[in-house]
Amino acid sequence: MGAIDIRGLKKDYKDVQALRGLDLSVEAGQVYGFCGPNGAGKSTTLKILVGLVFATGGEASLKGIDAINNGVEARKHIGYLPESYGMPNSDTPRKFLTYMGILSGMSKDVVSKRIEEIAKEINLTDNLDRKIKTLSKGNKQRIGIAQALIHDPDILLFDEPTTGLDPLGRNEVLDAMKAFANRGKTVLFSTHILSDVEKICDTVGIIHNGLLIEQGSPEELRKKHGAKDLDEVFLKVAKHG
């Protein structure tokens, strides 16, 4: 049993077959880079794991718990960073994160300690009490990551966590994800930035037209395709079609 097990996952949106039988597994404590062209089905996969989208067929489990039929139980173990979302701009990160913690069933005291801990880890401490609308994109992304971590979940599902960040901000987020995995958490994140995958991922999976077409360690994939880096691997296997 892996931390994340997906078998034969299918999703039809009216006339679009977004997932056509996706198989994917992630071992506990791994960082998994989920790559693929625009529209390949990455966000749909994450949304099914979180329960935001219903699968048309197939199976998905988190720590052995059925994420499709027993979503309430499975969701206790996941922290999710969506691809994009609105935040309460007139509130401060501290207030927003306090709401999120309380919604997860934590007491105010526990949440307030947890916020300090997370803020330290992801470099948000100095901005906890400024209004969200005044913060940079990088800091907004940190708030998104903080809300995903608030209830100390074991599995982190991050949809493009480094998109739009400058190289310093990207490195911080990458380091944080690697540190979570070193503490035994499982991280699955989608991205188009293959150099990020190369830096921190144990395993990379490439999804194309709703199917996983390649999976392995960055080194294995480079060797298999005689490529100098993952960009080259990607260009070889994922043609627009």
Ligand X SMILES: Nc1ncnc2c1ncn2[C@@H]1O[C@H](COP(=O)(O)OP(=O)(O)OP(=O)(O)O)[C@@H](O)[C@H]1O
Q: Which residues bind ligand X (CB under 6 A)?
A: 13, 16, 18, 36, 38-44, 83
State CA 32 to chain mean position distance. Answer: 9
Q: Which is nearer to ligand X, 103 or 213 (CB)?
A: 213
Q: 13 is in the binding site of which of ligand X, Mg ion, none (Cβ under 5 to 8 A by kind)?
A: ligand X
Closest CA to 56 of 96, 89, 86, 16: 16
Tell the smallest beta-carbon distance from residue 204 to ligand X (Å).
Answer: 15
Tell the smallest beta-carbon distance from residue 163 to ligand X (Å).
Answer: 9
Within 19-78, the residues that bind Mg ion by CB under 5 A are 42-43
Q: 82 is in the binding site of which of ligand X, Mg ion, none (Cβ under 5 to 8 A by kind)?
A: none
Q: Which is nearer to ligand X, 42 or 142 (CB)?
A: 42
Q: Which is nearer to ligand X, 38 or 90 (CB)?
A: 38
Tell the smallest beta-carbon distance from residue 112 to ligand X (Å).
Answer: 35
Q: Which is nearer to ligand X, 101 or 205 (CB)?
A: 205
For residues 8 and 234, what is the distance between their CA atoms, to the nearest angstrom? 23
By the criterion CB under 5 A, which residues form the site for Mg ion?
A: 42-43, 83
